[in-house]
Amino acid sequence: MEDCIFCKIASKEIPAKLVYESENVVGFRDINPQAPTHILVVPKKHFASLNELDDISLMGELLNAVKKITKKLEIQEYRTVINTGKSAGQEVFHIHIHILAGRDMKWPPG
Ligand code: 5GP
Ligand code: ZN
């Protein structure tokens, strides 16, 4: 999709610190990390949010990527987050899973 930052990262049009790539998914480091490790996992195909994702098998691929990335980075304790919609904190409207690790997390999240 035009003017979508994560589409451009997925297609390598703009650079990112890639940690994972498969046929349909990429994982890369967040530009503004909120924890010592902060990675975003996104489908290469554009879906604005979980509400628009019609191919639910893609969620399995995204979670499989989370497992592969955390295994590769030897991370056993981490938080995964999907923000859906502005009030939930979504700023980039291309679905992504956050992986946050390397510090104690609070609950409930703010
Ligand atoms: P959201 O608030 O939509 O759940 O998360 C969007 C995330 O994307 C934020 O954590 C933000 O720091 C990250 N982000 C925004 N633009 C870029 C970018 O150009 N490159 C990278 N690597 N991360 C970005
Ligand atoms: Zn996109």
The 10 Å Cβ neighbour count of residue 12 is 11
| 87 CB within 6 A, ligand 1 | no
Distance in Å, CA 91 to ligand 1 centroid: 7
| 32 CB within 6 A, ligand 1 | yes
Each residue's pLDDT tens digit, 45-86: 999 999 999 999 999 999 999 999 999 999 999 999 999 999
Each residue's pLDDT tens digit, 86-97: 999 999 999 999
- Helices of type H across the chain: 5-10, 57-72
Enter the pTM of the model: 0.98
C-alpha 34/C-alpha 39 separation (Å) is 10
- pLDDT confidence of 110, banded at 50, 70, 90? confident
Domains of the chain (ranges, CATH numbers): 5-101 (3.30.428.10)
Each residue's pLDDT tens digit, 57-67: 999 999 999 99
| 21 CB within 6 A, ligand 1 | no
pLDDT of residue 1: 78
